[in-house]
Amino acid sequence: MKLRIKFSLLVFLPVGVIILGIGLFLFISEKRALNREIKENQQSLLDTFVQISRDALLVHDEIPILNYINFLKRNEMVTYAGLRDKYGKVLAHSDSGLIGKRVTAITSSSEDISELSREIFVGKEAAGTVFIGFSKKVSRLLIQDKLNEFG
């Protein structure tokens, strides 16, 4: 092998490895940042739902809850959303067929759902639980689309 080829390999191989390493690092960092952004968005949706539900339960008006559930249904990541009272009776749900039924938990037949829930307190008394089911598949697709935009 000629000296020129050996020298070229000696110089370009480490440079290529460094560039590949930096690219991989940036890819992983961006993916983590997108995952964190999605989780923060989901938490924000839940926080808002808790506040709206608490306020609506205080004044005994379910309309704001139903309006927010309709808003959530337009979000492609949301699979379902609802509110059940402290006894498990569904007060509001994106699937209107579940309203009025007593359930202790809404479970999906698919493991591809990530559910966030939080208990609502009116004063010091538990008034119910809000819950939102998010599609893990849609979240993965959104992250992939964002990564493809950068790549």
User: How many CB atoms are located within 10 Å of the residue 91 CB?
Assistant: 19
Residue type, 51: Q
pTM of the model: 0.81
Confidence band, pLDDT 50/70/90 cuts, at residue 11:
confident
Sheet containing strand 78-85, edge to edge, reads: 90-93, 78-85, 125-135, 113-122
Per-residue pLDDT at 106: 55
pLDDT tens column, 19-72: 999 989 988 999 899 999 999 999 999 999 999 999 999 998 989 999 999 999
Please tell me the distance from the alpha carbon of residue 98 to that of residue 114, in angstroms, as a whole number: 19
Q: 60 and 130 in contact (C-beta within 8 Å)?
A: no
Per-residue pLDDT at 8: 79
pLDDT tens column, 110-151: 578 889 999 999 888 889 999 999 999 999 888 888 888 766
- Which residues, 6 or more positions from 112, have their beta carbon under 8 angstroms from its beta carbon? 135, 136, 137
